[in-house]
Chains A and B, each alone.
Chain A
Amino acid sequence: MALVVDSLSAAYGDTQVLWDVSIRIEPGEIVALIGSNGAGKSSLLGAMSGLVKKRGGTVVYDGTDLTALQPDAIVRAGVVQVPQGRRLFNSLTVHENLLMGAYLRNDKEIASDLERVLEMLPRLRQRYEFLAGKLSGGEQQQVAIARALMARPKVMLIDEMSLGLAPVLVDQLLEILTTINASGVAILIVEQDVQTALEFASRAYVLETGRVTIVGPTSQLLDDPQVQKAYLGV
């Protein structure tokens, strides 16, 4: 049931951005992926979601090889990304955005899932018929997470959730993620806010110029002098 990325390489044209990246997300786990600007974090998520072309390596989830699959097939397999910068459908309402999350689904449980998501994020119920583009940054990030939830993910890949949000809002969102995780969804959180990410996740990978340089439990990484110096400003 684990999501296993093995020796993944990726490139944009001639520019290679990922070299032999191997990461692993166990069921129900919260894993952090940290690194500075341009380290390849978003490219790794893109490659896992089928948006960035892979040069080598494999992505396997629950015995299914996702390596060569199109983005829609990867979503169907249960691996869903919350893209950086929210990326909402601004001229659609919150309600329509959430339903777009269930785009590939045809089952009868969409309505009950919608209700469940709104229970979890009551703010969105108040904003239900608002255009997504008119919401505040924190509300938009809630819509982005809720939209991904509507796809019934088993693994959520969350890219730079804290970007441009006040710390109090980030804390609220992390609480929401804790609830989501408690319902059995594994989470890979990609962050530049390293402190927050390391306090939230149980395990972490450090990505530097396209390579994984440090792996370990977050408790260990928080005490690692190298991590402290490079990312925590200690």
Chain B
Amino acid sequence: MAVATATAPPARRVGLGGITGSPLALKVVVGLLVLALAVPLLHNGYYENLFRGILMFSAMALGWNLIGGYTGYVSFGNVVFFGLGAYTSATLASHGIENVWVAVPLAIVVAAMFAVALGVPILRLKGHYFGIATLGIALAVQEIVANVDALGGGTGVTLHQAAWYSQYYYAMWLVCAGSLLVTWFIARSKFGYALVAIRENEDAAAVLGVNATYFKVAAWAISGMMAAAAGAVFAFSTGFIDPPSAFSVDNNVFPIVMVLLGGIGTVAGPVVGAILLTAINETLWSHFPQIHTLFFGAVIVIVVLFLPRGLLYLQNARGGLRGMIDSLSAYRV
């Protein structure tokens, strides 16, 4: 620990300063996001798909970060919201409303209702129990959807895409930017501090008057809304969804790894993680088509061992190299 300075700092700072993480990373991410608006102008289908994927995973990672990173409730089932969002689009489409701009707000409402209904019982569970329960919900909902004929059952649903295909890119951009903005606002508010207090010590938060149930359910609902919005756009941009694609394991696990890679409990971290992981995945896939998952697994292991809290903690004022060494010793590596 650093030696305390002899001169005591004056107690001027009174407001809660915010738990946003590195301001530099946030500026870089916002800059990249603005640049990403120009991608459809390249008229290159590969890049448009690639960047739409990054935006989609960013939104999902931002969503997971809210409940898993800020609140400390590690969910292994956030894909359920993504799937619900995708099926909101599919259901609308099969009733003749093939409009992504209608589907996204509706998916957000569906996700919020689902999160509140299930959040109240589920968020009473802590630690691993919560994680297992969320995993169970994701699998159960996938099975239910696969057996409901009105939702296309196991055969899936085809969505007709509009002539202006790039609108799905812009819709995904808005979902990502909106998720980033919401996360930023939360991280600077008393709401965000309540979430962190719950993560750090739920009992202590409760004795200070933080209504943990309310904040946990709210965090899970907002987390779900982000994933659902991304799912609603995904259904249109991909044109066909079935239960395995809407509730895929990749869409469940990637956002978590992205948050861990970028910086858990920071605003920009999830987006940084989404960009890096997509880039790594894309490079490995194109150079080592047979064994790319092997390298991918190695990346995950390296991240967990050496950067358990993410890249942003390398230059974060609250982490730094010292913080990385601390986390290494804390995890007994």
Q: List 24 A-B contacts (CB under 8 A).
A: A51-B203, A51-B206, A51-B207, A75-B209, A80-B208, A83-B204, A87-B204, A87-B207, A89-B205, A92-B196, A95-B13, A96-B16, A96-B17, A96-B193, A100-B197, A101-B208, A103-B193, A114-B14, A115-B11, A126-B4, A128-B9, A128-B11, A151-B208, A151-B209
> What CA separation (Å) do A100 and B203 show in the bound complex?
13
Q: Take A71-B206, A75-B209, A114-B14 as given contacts and tell me if A89 and B197 are in contact as well, using a CB distance cutoff of 8 Å.
A: yes
Q: Is the CB of A122 within 8 A of B8?
A: yes
B13: chain A residues at CB < 8 Å are: 95
A147–B205 alpha-carbon span in the complex (Å)? 11
Most buried by B among A71, A100, A111, A147: A100
CA distance in complex: A129, B5 (Å): 11
Least distance between B106 CB and chain A CB atoms (Å): 34
Chain B positions within 8 Å of A, measured between CB atoms, are 1, 4-5, 8-9, 11, 13-14, 16-17, 19, 190, 193-194, 196-197, 200-201, 203-211, 265, 318
Q: Is the CB of A100 within 8 A of B208?
A: yes
Q: How far is the CA of A66 from the CA of B201 in the complex (A)?
A: 24
State A137–B207 Cα separation when bound (angstroms): 20
B11-A125 in contact (CB<8A) = yes
Query: Measured between alpha carbons, how far is A127 from B2 in the docked complex, in Å?
Result: 11
- A71 — which chain B residues lie within 8 A by C-beta? 206-207, 209, 211
A72 within 8 A of B: yes
CA distance A39 to B211 in the complex (A): 28
* Closest CB in chain A relative to B2 CB, distance in Å: 8
Is A161 part of the binding interface, using a Cβ–Cβ cutoff of 8 Å?
A: no
A87 touches B4 (CB 8 A): no
**Residues in B neighbouring A148, C-beta threshold 8 A:** 208
Interface of B is mostly: loop
Rounded to whole angstroms, the CA-CA distance of A95 and B12 in the bound complex is: 10
Q: Which residues of chain A from 77 to 95 have any CB-CB distance to chain B below 8 Å in the complex?
A: 80-81, 83, 87-92, 95
B194 near A129 (CB under 8 angstroms)? no
Chain A residues near B200 (CB, 8 Å)?
88-92
In the bound complex, how far is the Cα of B208 from the Cα of A148, in angstroms? 7
Q: Is A1 an interface residue (CB 8 A)?
A: no
Of B201, B207, B210, B318, which one neighbours A49 at CB under 8 angstroms?
B207
Chain A residues contacting B205 (CB-CB under 8 Å) are 89, 100
**Any chain B CB within 8 A of the CB of A219?**
no
Most A CB atoms within 10 A — which of B200, B204, B318? B204
In angstroms, how far is the closest chain A Cβ from the Cβ of B277? 24
- Asked whether A228 is an interface residue with its Cβ less than 8 Å from the other chain, the reply is no
Query: In the assembled complex, which residues on chain B have CB atoms less than 8 Å from the CB atom of A72?
Result: 209-211
List chain B residues, Cβ under 8 A from A99.
Answer: 14, 16, 193
Chain A residues 204-226 with CB under 8 Å of chain B are none
Q: Is A89's CB under 8 angstroms from B210's CB?
A: no
Query: Restricting to A120-165, which residues have a CB under 8 Å from any CB of B?
Result: 122, 125-129, 131, 134, 147-148, 151
Contacts of A127 in B (CB 8 A): 4
Question: Which residues of chain B are near A51, meaning CB under 8 Å?
Answer: 203, 206-207
Closest to B7 in A: A126
Residue of B nearest to A84 (CB): B203
